[in-house]
Amino acid sequence: MVKQKTKTKFVSSLKEMGLLKRVFYYAMLSFIGITMLLPFFWMVSTSLKDEGEVFSFPPTWIPSETNYFTSYDKVLVNSVIEYREEKNLTGGIEDVRALAAEAPDSAEMGLNIKIIKRTSEVKILSGEYEGRKVDIDSSLVSNYVPNWLTPWEKKPAVPVGEIMKSLGFMERGDRIPAGFRAKVPCEILNVKIFVKIADEKNPLLDEKCWIPADKLKKEWKPALKWDNYPKAWDALPFGRAYINSIIVALLVTFGQAFTSSMAAYAFARLHFPGRDKIFLLYLATMMIPGAVTMIPVFIIMKIAPDMLNLVSAKIGTFFYQLFGGSPDVQILTEFWDSKFEILGHYIGRPIGLDSYFALIVPGLCSAYGTFMLRQFFMSIPVDLEDAAKIDGCSLFGIYIRIILPLSKPALATLITFTFMAVWRDFMWPLIVCSSDQMKTLPVLLASFQGVYNTQYTLLMAASLIVLMPVILVFLFNQRFFIEGIQLGAIKG
Amino acid sequence: MKSKKHFRIGESLSGYLFVLPNFLGFFCFTFFPVLFSFYLGFVDWDIIKPMKFVMFKNFNKLMFFHIREITEGGLRFPWTLEMDVIFCCMMFVASALLVLRFFIQQMQYCRQATGKYFFRGTFNLIPAILILVSAGFFIRWMSMLEMLPGNAYNSYFIRANLILNAGNFLGFSLLLLFVAMIFSFLGAYFRSYDFRFEKSSDVFLAFLPGAVILLNIFPVWGFSNDIWAANDPYFWQFLGNTLFMMLAIPIGMFASLGLALLMNKKLKGIVFFRAVYFLPSICAGVALYVLWRWIYNTDLGLLNTILGYIGIPKVEWLTSTAWSKPSLMLMGIWTGVGGYNMILYLAGLQGIPLDLYEAADIDGASGWQKFWSVTWPMLSPTTFFIFVMSVIGGFQGGFDAAYIMTGGGPAGSTTTLSYYIYNNAYAWFKMGYAASIAWVLFALVFVVTLFNWKFGGKVVHY
């Protein structure tokens, strides 16, 4: 029997699956893809919004601005449309008030009607003007008690002066003589409420009133506020943070690759006393979590400037006295504690917290890298090295000319992972950096959030600024990333 | 007999030179800090003031409990200090014998028949008698008490308290004995590949001293809130937080597995989907945490908006104690679903040979059965690897997300152990205490990894 090629069965081809299944799979994949991409879309959308639009409810998906303006072209001031409400009223002022309350008042009900005045048409019941019907302002129609023995009986009454005003006997603005403030009983026939109603010809733009949304024209247009990005960039030194991140990541990666590969070669191929014990030490400390080692390294970094100052001072004093200086003089130095500046840019301290030394040097050696590379080097056949040795190559030459070129995949994986880990590292730079100029990108973003806590537009713009290189590099090199992981999986 | 190795001077020198830069960095920044932090665990220091050596105070404060003020009641039973001492000595001797038993058994492995009765008489019978006598003692004492919390337990707890909390040596020796027992047992298990329990009683006797010691130190039957108070309740809360957030590991693993199964088809454009799913994993970091903090915003965030479309009322994701941890877990799962785990599973899936599936088909297995009996066992190495790595990372992680998204969470509900270490070391400058927490964390990781390694190796098919 011919042995069949073992091929996984589940990797079925496009044609074998039925249409329905295909559609189902694509739908599932697309749904999950949307779930993955939606937050990124939200981030971009928020970063391009205007500050106030972020807080609008419900949240909008596309940054836009809505301009409201009336569709009315002209304004006619002081136009009045009478709105009559005819009711038979027997009651007093309460009815008037109730009626007035019923009438649409623009300020309260949000309609495009404004009450100008309310007048009651009353019929005078007694006095000189008995029987006449006049329009009096409703607020002046008040109750009076006709019989003090029955105080609950109230009847509407109108001041005489107002009657005279509305009949034309007195001009508007004349002072009503005292006697004419007396009230005359009346009967309210109806209430007239004078309103202004806004319509096509009479937009009430000069009056303070609300215009309902459906009467207004809305113009919606997408407005991408691109200047959120320069604002975010200028708010905190992102350019400097980029440079910091790049410098730190490059140096740490290169340092780790260099030192780990050299040590791995020694552990794999060379024999020297104590080799296995040292390697066991490496393995033992690989299990120890980072938190354990971070605290003493932090302490070392914190104490280092003062210690070095002390030591340098002592050395300086010693040499000074050696070369004939007076024994009373003490040389002091604050060099190791000082802050460097180049061309006005703050470079940090030479050593200690808030320095490039503290960011880079503790990460230069890694046990993981050594271990991984040692495993890889042990799988390189020895004959190549023997041949090289016969040809007279030195050990370092073997290392450079044979081992390194052969271990390109492992080195590439190590470099990739190290670079990404250092680029993303948050805790250690957070501990070490205290000034904005020395911070790496993640830490700077965190402090950006600390300052601009609720300005979500700027925050999202800053996040995108920080994410952009990673996304771009990934988009152009995704196959490399994914295959590197698979290589690591198969090897390890 | 090891042969004497002759080292060539030139090669040795080259070897040392090659290793030198790496070893220098390793020594300064890994080896020395480990020792120094171990020393720090036993001191009180905040860099400015001089170091103060307090032996076990940090670990005491961290892990153990003390008695609250018991205001009423008194000794109901005339338990004296002498009985106390006798009790402790009996337990000590019994435990010591049981520990020695396993050492000797491992040494005597080759000589099976020699000294069988002596061995069993000394190392099984005497500890058993001692433990039974002390247990009887204890039961008699218990039966004479009225079980009122806060009253009748005074003497017992005072004894335990004295043993543990004075920072003195006796209490720690008991605990170390227990730990030594575990290690000796495990050591025997590791060194002799054929080691197994000979009798079922051995299982009981192996764990008995540890159980009895623990029962003496943490009496389960008296473990009520109104008597005990944790010396550092925050540690236990944060440990609980860490363990809870590690529940996201299996969920994420299964999600990645499901996704890998879905993606393991030669559809057109699957590479595009693979890239899209990998994107959140590659962007993982502070920027994503900031983004998700905005997404989880109660009033204006994306999630609550989408839930509003469906009709579910607003959920206070990051501001309520109930939802803060699940929201961090959800974000972690979202970030990691299409990431490394999925790629590893894809690689594993593509390594499963075809004939297994054909055999399953011949046997008439359904799709689900095929998964459980063919796919899942063949993926178990990958699963095991991912699980071990994730557990190790899960214990130490959780700092970044908690710092940026919730700042420790409402009422400390998202603070993990690493965040607690950060606060102690760099915010409050309690270096000694932080170092002790870090070492307890290491011990936890070590024990769990050991457990995983040994007992997971049985589950994995290679």
> Is B87 an 8 Å CB contact of chain A?
no
**Residues B375 and B255 grouped into a single domain:** yes
Chain B residue with CA closest to A265: the answer is: B18
Q: Which residues 183-212 of B are in CB contact (within 8 Å) with A?
A: none
Tokens of A351: 């050593």
Chain B residue with CA closest to A394: the answer is: B14
Residue B290 sits in which domain range?
242-456
Contacts of B290 in chain A (CB under 8 A): 445-446, 449, 459-460, 462-463
Contact call for A273 and B441, based on CB within 8 A: no
Q: Which of B208, B230, B252 is the last residue of a domain?
A: B230
- Residue predicted with more confidence, A81 or B11: B11
The reply to whether B43 falls in a domain is: no
- Residue predicted with more confidence, B260 or B187: B260
Confidence band for B178, pLDDT divided at 50, 70 and 90: low
**Residues B262 and B147 grouped into a single domain:** no
> Is A404 an 8 Å CB contact of chain B?
no
CB-nearest to A33 from B23, B273, B293 is: B273
Contacts of A51 in chain B (CB under 8 A): none
Q: Which residues 337-356 of B are in CB contact (within 8 Å) with A?
A: 338, 340, 343-344, 346-350, 352-355
pLDDT in tens, A32-89: 999 999 999 999 999 998 887 788 777 888 888 766 554 433 222 233 333 333 343 3
**Residues B247 and B167 grouped into a single domain:** no
3-state secondary structure chain B: CCCCCCCCHHHHHHHHHHHHHHHHHHHHHHHHHHHHHHHHCCEECCCCCCCEECCCHHHHHHHCEEECCCCCCCCCCCCCHHHHHHHHHHHHHHHHHHHHHHHHHHHCCCCCCCCHHHHHHHHHHHHHHHHHHHHHHHHHHHHCCCCCCCCCCHHHHHHHHHHHHCCCHHHHHHHHHHHHHHHHHHHHHHHCCCCCCCCHHHHHHHHHHHHHHHHHHCCCCCCCCCCEEECCHHHHHHHHHHHHHCCHHHHHHHHHHHHHHHHCCCCCCHHHHHHHHHHHHHCCCHHHHHHHHHHCCCCCCHHHHHHHHHCCCCCCCCCCHHHHHHHHHHHHHHHHCCCHHHHHHHHHHCCCCHHHHHHHHHCCCCHHHHHHHHHHHHCHHHHHHHHHHHHHHHHHCCHHHHHHHHCCCHHHCCCCHHHHHHHHHHHCCCHHHHHHHHHHHHHHHHHHHHHHHHHHCCCCCC
CB-nearest to A292 from B279, B293, B438 is: B438
CB-nearest to B262 from A14, A28, A471 is: A28
Contact call for B279 and A36, based on CB within 8 A: yes
Chain A residue with CA closest to B268: the answer is: A14
Contact call for B431 and A460, based on CB within 8 A: no
The reply to whether B214 falls in a domain is: yes
Q: Which residues 154-183 of B are in CB contact (within 8 Å) with A?
A: none
Contact call for A288 and B442, based on CB within 8 A: yes
Domain of B322, CATH number, reads: 1.10.3720.10
Tokens of B16: 């040392």
Count structural domains, chain B.
2
CB-nearest to B347 from A42, A430, A490 is: A490
Contacts of A270 in chain B (CB under 8 A): 11-12, 14-15, 18
Contact call for B421 and A272, based on CB within 8 A: no
Q: Smallest CA–CA separation between B286 and chain A, in Å?
A: 5
Residue A108 has a pLDDT of 38
The reply to whether B12 falls in a domain is: no
Contacts of B302 in chain A (CB under 8 A): 38-39, 42, 59
C-alpha distances in angstroms, A290 versus A228, A413, A452, B177, B442? 38, 22, 31, 28, 10
Residue B419 has a pLDDT of 95
pLDDT in tens, B332-353: 999 999 888 999 999 889 888 8
Interface test with B, best of A292, A452, A463 (most B CBs within 10 A): A292
Q: Assess whether pLDDT exceeds 60 at residue B183.
A: no
> Is B34 an 8 Å CB contact of chain A?
yes
Interface test with A, best of B3, B17, B18, B341 (most A CBs within 10 A): B18
Residue A324 has a pLDDT of 81
Chain B residue with CA closest to A36: the answer is: B277
For chain A, list the domains and their CATH numbers: 81-221 (no CATH), 231-491 (1.10.3720.10)
The reply to whether B176 falls in a domain is: yes
The reply to whether B247 falls in a domain is: yes
The average pLDDT across B90-115 equals 60
Stretch among A23-37, B15-29, B71-85, B301-315 having the lowest mean pLDDT: B71-85
Contact call for A58 and B308, based on CB within 8 A: yes
Q: Which of B230, B265, B288 is the last residue of a domain?
A: B230
**Residues B75 and B154 grouped into a single domain:** yes
The reply to whether B357 falls in a domain is: yes
CB-nearest to A289 from B21, B431, B445 is: B445
CB-nearest to A482 from B34, B47, B274 is: B274
Q: Which of B177, B202, B230 is the last residue of a domain?
A: B230
Averaged confidence pLDDT in chain B: 76
Contacts of B292 in chain A (CB under 8 A): 39
**Residues B146 and B275 grouped into a single domain:** no
Residue A433 has a pLDDT of 92
**Residues B205 and B316 grouped into a single domain:** no
The reply to whether B146 falls in a domain is: yes
Contact call for A289 and B382, based on CB within 8 A: no
Interface test with B, best of A21, A24, A28, A29 (most B CBs within 10 A): A29
**Residues B99 and B220 grouped into a single domain:** yes
pLDDT in tens, B394-447: 998 889 999 999 988 888 899 999 999 999 999 999 999 999 999 999 999 988
ipTM of the prediction: 0.72
State how far the Cα of A270 lies from the Cα of A256, in Å rounded to an integer.
20
| Sign of the torsion angle spanned by Cα atoms A423, A427, A432, A435 | positive
CB-nearest to A489 from B285, B305, B344 is: B344
Q: What is the DSSP secondary structure assignment for residue A243, as one 8-state letter?
A: H
Q: How many CA atoms lie within 13 A of B393 on its CB side?
A: 10
> Is A2 an 8 Å CB contact of chain B?
no
Residue A224 has a pLDDT of 87
Q: Which residues 35-74 of B are in CB contact (within 8 Å) with A?
A: 36-37, 40, 47
CB pairs under 8 A between A and B: 302
Interface test with A, best of B22, B28, B289, B404 (most A CBs within 10 A): B22
Q: Smallest CA–CA separation between A303 and chain B, in Å?
A: 8
Percent of chain B with pLDDT over 70: 62
Chain A residue with CA closest to B341: the answer is: A485
Contacts of A282 in chain B (CB under 8 A): 26
Chain B residue with CA closest to A30: the answer is: B273
Q: Assess whether pLDDT exceeds 50 at residue B87.
A: yes
- Residue ranges, chain A, pLDDT below 70: 1-17, 66-118, 170-180, 190-219, 480-492
The reply to whether B28 falls in a domain is: no
Contact B54, B431 (CB under 8 A): no
Chain B residue with CA closest to A289: the answer is: B442
**Residues B203 and B275 grouped into a single domain:** no
**Residues B218 and B310 grouped into a single domain:** no
**Residues B248 and B226 grouped into a single domain:** no
State how far the Cα of A398 lies from the Cα of A380, in Å rounded to an integer.
12
Contacts of A280 in chain B (CB under 8 A): none
State how far the Cα of B445 lies from the Cα of B397, in Å rounded to an integer.
12
Contacts of A367 in chain B (CB under 8 A): 26, 30
Residue A197 has a pLDDT of 52
Q: Smallest CA–CA separation between B372 and chain A, in Å?
A: 15
Contact call for B14 and A32, based on CB within 8 A: no
**Residues B205 and B330 grouped into a single domain:** no
Q: Which residues 11-40 of A are in CB contact (within 8 Å) with B?
A: 11-14, 17, 22, 25-26, 28-29, 32-33, 35-40
pLDDT in tens, B249-304: 999 999 999 999 888 887 778 888 888 999 999 999 899 999 999 999 998 889 99
Contact A268, A374 (CB under 8 A): yes
**Residues B226 and B246 grouped into a single domain:** no
State how far the Cα of B12 lies from the Cα of A486, in Å rounded to an integer.
37
